[in-house]
Amino acid sequence: MQNFGDILGEVFRAMMANKLRTFLTMFGIAWGVGSLLVLVGLGEGFRSGQRRNLASIGNDVVMTFNATIPALPNQHTAMRPYKLTLRDEIDMRKLPELRSVTATLNRNDLYEVSAWSNTSMLVLGVEPNFSEIRFVPVAQGRFLDDADLTEHRRVAVLGSKAAHTLYPGHPFLGESITINGTRFTVVGSVATIARGGQDFDDQKVYIPLTTAQELFAMKGENIPKDAVNTIQYQPATKGNSDAAVPAVHRVLGHNHDFDPSLKDAFDEFDSIHTSHLVDVIFDAMDLFLGGVGIVTLGLGAVGIINIMLVSVTERTREIGLRKALGATKGSILAQFFWEGLILTGVSGIIGIGISAGFMAILQGLLTGKMPGFDPPQLVWWSAALALGSLAICGIVAGVYPASMAAALEPVEALRRE
């Protein structure tokens, strides 16, 4: 009766006796596993990059903008414009379908001056909860609070590029800037939230919404005094805006006297819907890339099966000789089982290691340099699937013909060519 060490010794001697065949088998397995992992990792890298971009906007955010009302559905002539107002925001806060609402007033025609520099960046009148709905990580100091809003304080929080431009290499907390001649005290700054080469969000100066409406309200005919540029909200149900969006449409339709079923009367961006759409697109991409990888893996599996079948067929006489010397059918099958398992297992691990190393190099070289996309990343379920399927192919391809040969009488097996 052979022990486990004897069986492994037989396996390694058989593998070393056919070095070229062993190398080709292992190369095919490693190539198939590595190809599948890189292709699936590519799709997952694209998916994570898009999710990261959306997360940098905010969490579960739906943005509503000023828009125009068509006279008839799908008609783009004689459209009546309307402006969002604080009344809209107040009414939206009463909706049970929403959990958080904030309004903003934007001005990009103002002039900011510090003791060191001057610029003209976007001034954003916001409420304190803006930093909870949108992604606004505070780097230094603080963000705006309720007292800033209720007392109409003249304080400002600088985006990272705004801080660098107005105070190049100088401290700015507690310092003053003027916005169109009005003095504001800097109370904080925001960390960079640029996406790729797009640093628009870093070029912002945040001030209290009440102060912005007092000093820099919208100008023009028939514009309400409490007009704002956007109202942004989060649905009560996380990850689902199906109930929130129609509820908001009903409020705006009622307040601005139009039929809320007119889809063209709304200008909005639904990050939740966009996120779901991105998932669908990248699910399809994963399916396609995974299919290509599986085809590659399948070709590797066919090669393994062919090599193992030929290997076992060539060794039928060896099997007959071992039986004649007293080897049991179980010990013969154990040898081919472990041969198939070691070949596929070691080769698969090599393939995983090489693909993981390749993707790690890409992570180091490409991270942050492809806006909207992340480099490929290792997906462990695909590694387990590839390694498991190839191991099964290798074991079956070795054990099945070996069992047929071991079932022969020793004399008959020795006659085989």
Backbone angles phi, psi at 349, to 5 degrees: -65, -40
At residue 10, the pLDDT reads 67
At residue 222, the pLDDT reads 81
Q: How open is the CA angle 46-52-58, to the nearest 5 degrees?
A: 145
Structure tokens at 95: 């909706």
Q: Pairing mode, if any, of strands 204-208 and 267-270?
A: unpaired
Contact by Cβ (8 Å): 359, 28: no
Structure tokens at 237: 């149900």
At residue 309, the pLDDT reads 67
This prediction has a pTM of 0.68
Q: Of 108, 62, 76, 77, give the one whose Cα is nearest residue 252.
A: 62
At residue 339, the pLDDT reads 74
Q: How open is the CA angle 289-294-295, to the nearest 5 degrees?
A: 100
At residue 239, the pLDDT reads 83
Q: Of 153, 185, 183, 182, give the one whose Cα is nearest residue 172.
A: 185
Q: Pairing mode, if any, of strands 118-119 and 122-126?
A: unpaired
Over its length of 417 residues, how does the chain's per-residue pLDDT go in tens digits?
456 666 667 667 766 767 777 777 778 778 777 877 887 787 777 777 776 666 667 778 999 999 998 876 666 565 788 999 999 999 999 999 999 999 999 999 999 999 999 999 999 999 999 988 988 899 999 999 999 999 999 999 999 999 999 999 899 999 999 999 999 999 999 998 876 556 788 899 999 999 999 999 988 878 888 999 999 999 998 888 899 999 999 999 999 999 898 888 999 998 888 877 777 777 777 677 667 666 766 666 676 666 666 666 666 666 677 667 766 777 777 777 777 777 777 888 888 888 888 888 877 776 666 666 677 777 777 777 777 777 777 777 667 766 766 666 666 655 555
Structure tokens at 291: 């299919």
